[in-house]
Structure 1
Amino acid sequence: MLVTLASRTLSLYVLISVVLAVSVPPALESRASGACTLEASGSDDAPAILAAAADTSCPTVTIPSGTTLSIQSKLNMTGLSNKHIDLQGTIKFSDDLDYWKDNAFTFSFQDQAAFWLLGGTNIVLDGGGTLDGSGQAWYDAFAKDDSTVRPILLTLYQATDITVQNIKMINGPEWINFVNEGKNVVFRNITITAVSTSSNDAKNTDGWDIFRSDNVTIADSNITNGDDCVSFKPNSTNILVSNLSCNGSHGISVGSLGQYAGEYDIVENVLATNIRMSNAQNGARIKAWAGKDVGSGIVKNITFEGFVESNVDNPVIIDQCYETSSSDCTKYPSNTYIEDIWFTNISGTSSGKEKAVVASLSCSPDGRCSDINVNGITVTPPSKYGEPSFQCQNVDVSGDDASLFGTCKTTS
Structure 2
Amino acid sequence: MRPALVRVYALAATVYTAFASPALEHRASGICTLSASGSDDAPAFLASASDASCSTITIPSGTTLSIRSKMNMTGLTGKHINLQGTIKFNPDLDYWTDNAFTFDFQDQTAFWLLGGKNLLLDGGGTLDGSGQAWYDEFAKDDSVVRPILLTLFQATNVTVQNINMINGPEWINFVNEGQDVTFRNITISAVSTSKNAAKNTDGWDIFRSDNVVIEDSTINNGDDCVSFKPNSTNILVSNLSCNGSHGISVGSLGQYAGEYDIVQNVLATNIRMSNAQNGARIKAWAGKNVGSGIVKNITFTGFVETNVDNPVVIDQCYETSDSDCAKYPSNTYIQDIWFDDISGTSSGKEKAVVASLSCSPDGRCSNVNVNGITVTPPSKYGDASFECQNVELSGDDASLFGTCDTTD
Could you tell me how far apart the structure 2 residues matched to 1:396 and 1:128 are? 47
Which amino acid in structure 2 is aligned with residue 326 of structure 1?
D
2:183 to 184, 187, 192: 187
* 3-state secondary structure, aligned to 1:40: coil
Cα offset, 1:56, TM superposition? 0.6
2:21 paired residue number: none
* 3-state secondary structure, aligned to 1:136: helix
The yes-or-no answer on 1:36 pairing with 2:32 is: yes
Q: Is the 8 A contact 1:365 1:394 kept in 2?
A: yes
Cα offset, 1:396, TM superposition? 1.7
Cα offset, 1:261, TM superposition? 0.2
RMSD across aligned C-alpha pairs, in angstroms?
Answer: 0.9
1:303 paired residue number: 299
How big is each residue's C-alpha offset from its partner over 1:47-75, in whole Å with a ceiling of 9 and x where there is no partner? 00000000010100000000000000001
Which amino acid in structure 1 is aligned with residue 158 of structure 2?
I
2:198 paired residue number: 202
Which amino acid in structure 1 is aligned with residue 73 of structure 2?
M
5+ residue gaps, structure 2, are: 1-26
Map 1:311-390 → 2, pairs under 5 A:
311-390=307-386
Could you tell me how far apart the structure 1 residues matched to 2:406 and 2:115 are? 47
Q: Is the 8 A contact 1:185 1:217 kept in 2?
A: yes
The yes-or-no answer on 1:175 pairing with 2:152 is: no
The yes-or-no answer on 1:71 pairing with 2:67 is: yes
* Percent identity of paired positions between Structure 1 and Structure 2: 85
Which amino acid in structure 2 is aligned with residue 43 of structure 1?
S
Could you tell me how far apart the structure 2 residues matched to 1:397 and 1:222 are? 33
5+ residue gaps, structure 1, are: 1-30
2:85 paired residue number: 89
* 3-state secondary structure, aligned to 2:78: strand
The yes-or-no answer on 1:287 pairing with 2:283 is: yes
2:150 paired residue number: 154
How big is each residue's C-alpha offset from its partner over 1:1-55, in whole Å with a ceiling of 9 and x where there is no partner? xxxxxxxxxxxxxxxxxxxxxxxxxxxxxx9941000000000000000000000
Could you tell me how far apart the structure 2 residues matched to 1:411 and 1:226 are? 37
* 3-state secondary structure, aligned to 2:320: coil
Write out the 4+ residue segments of structure 1 that deviate beyond 2 Å after TM superposition.
none
Gap change, CA 1:114 and 1:32, over 3 Å in 2: farther
Q: Is the 8 A contact 1:153 1:177 kept in 2?
A: yes
Cα offset, 1:262, TM superposition? 0.1
Could you tell me how far apart the structure 2 residues matched to 1:39 and 1:367 are? 59
* 3-state secondary structure, aligned to 1:77: strand
Could you tell me how far apart the structure 1 residues matched to 2:36 and 2:404 are? 62
Which amino acid in structure 2 is aligned with residue 55 of structure 1?
D
Could you tell me how far apart the structure 2 residues matched to 1:331 and 1:409 are? 17
2:227 paired residue number: 231
1:12 paired residue number: none
Gap change, CA 1:92 and 1:32, over 3 Å in 2: farther
The yes-or-no answer on 1:273 pairing with 2:275 is: no
Which amino acid in structure 1 is aligned with residue 91 of structure 2?
D
Could you tell me how far apart the structure 2 residues matched to 1:238 and 1:81 are? 24
1:103 to 93, 99, 102: 99
Q: TM-score by structure 1 length?
A: 0.92
How big is each residue's C-alpha offset from its partner over 1:365-394, in whole Å with a ceiling of 9 and x where there is no partner? 000000000000000000000000000001
Q: TM-score by structure 2 length?
A: 0.93
1:52 paired residue number: 48
How big is each residue's C-alpha offset from its partner over 1:88-137, in whole Å with a ceiling of 9 and x where there is no partner? 00000000000000000000000000000000000000000000000000
Alignment length, in residue pairs? 382
Which amino acid in structure 2 is aligned with residue 38 of structure 1?
L
* 3-state secondary structure, aligned to 1:379: strand
